[in-house]
Structure 1
Amino acid sequence: MNLEYCEAVPKDAKKIIDYLNKVAGESNNLTFGLEDCNLNEVEEMQLIKEIHEDPNSLMIVAKDGLKIVGVASLSGNKKRRLAHRANIGVSVLKNYWHLGIGSNLVAILIGYAVESGIEVIDLEVVTSNEYAIALYEKYGFEIIATYKNFMKIDKEYVDAYLMNLYL
């Protein structure tokens, strides 16, 4: 395995779409499923460009050779009253779980947030996703609330924890 972590660039758009279409079908821990992956390559390129131009946002990809195996994003807020906050999202292909990739992605995002002056990072995590919860707690995230019926998968509701990291 030859892992590399780098900022997503527009030329990664096709590979990111392929990655999202794969990871979306691997678990019910994500806020999106296969039916939600509908950006085309041009739209994904534009999204990556917008993230790159926002000083409070970042998209990182984990690559094993040429293959994207993880994606993480820090999404800052443009409203002045909320500009001290950002939200993160992290996903890793199932075949690459428990190899430290998620941990490395979170560490990179936290480092970027500190450098950018972000004061609070928030996230949502499915309450049954024990590995992700432990990962976030390792970095100092705290559960601040339980969001009942956060997602609805088919006809089943799924709860999530709201977690914050105060930098």
Structure 2
Amino acid sequence: MIIEAHPITVNGLTYTIRSASEEDAEQLSNVRLQIDGETENLDREPGEAFLDPAAFAELIRTDSEKPRNLLLVASVEDRIVGFSRCEGIYLKRLSHKVEFGVGVLQEFWGYGIGKHLLQASIDWADTNGIAKISLNVLATNEKAIRLYQRLGFEREGVLKRDKMLSDGKFYDTVVMGRFRADGLTDSPALAMSENRHLP
């Protein structure tokens, strides 16, 4: 799905949150690879599950067309500095929810980019009848967990010894979810089913 672009200024930096376009494919491929090398908070090591520009272009096309997918970028002028993705589940019993993932270049941490990507995703989800947003976060990433809680996410559980990082130790993953306040859906397809993630 596509959302309108909107500019944001934080700590003197102006950036735009907008839907990804096919012209972003090459930058997104490079940014994703760089982010994977800057933090161990994500699932991949640099180069793992690599998406080249052609694969990203296809992903952008798919996410633009599917009503429960959303691929956003944060750009400073013409440079992409972060992105997020909501991926819908298209089985009827699970179609009320999406899975969220986000990544921001380390150089641009501290400007609220991840928060604004998530807030835009929440606004989109609430407007489009999505009842639940799910995400996973490394248990040691306390700053992210606090942000998610401020934006309405709840801890749903812990995956014990879920990841092994470069120090050879195992770390837990916290499973979190945000539930739409009214618990209802607006779309008939979603109502029928009512009772990861970054690419």
TM range (shorter): over 0.9
1:30 corresponds to: 42
1:63 corresponds to: 75
1:164 corresponds to: 177
- Stretch of structure 1 that moved more, 144-153 or 120-129: 144-153
1:9 equivalent to 2:21? Answer: yes
Unaligned 5+ runs, structure 1: none
1:118 equivalent to 2:91? Answer: no
2:10 corresponds to: none
Contact 1:20–1:37 (8 Å) recurs in 2: no
Unaligned 5+ runs, structure 2: 1-12, 181-199
Q: Please give the TM-score of this superposition, normalised by the length of structure 1.
A: 0.95
Amino acid at match of 2:63: I
> 1:96-123: per-residue Cα shift (whole Å, max 9, x none)?
1121111111100001111111101110
Q: How do 1:15-164 residues align onto structure 2 when only pairs under 5 Å count?
A: 15-154=27-166, 155-164=168-177
Alpha-carbon separation, structure 1, partners of 2:107 and 2:41? 15
Displacement of 1:43 after TM fit? Answer: 1.1
The alignment partner of 2:39 has SS state of coil
Structure (1 or 2) with the larger CA radius of gyration = 2
Displacement of 1:37 after TM fit? Answer: 4.7
Contact 1:60–1:72 (8 Å) recurs in 2: yes
Amino acid at match of 1:140: G
What is the aligned-residue RMSD (CA, Å)? 1.2
The alignment partner of 1:110 has SS state of helix
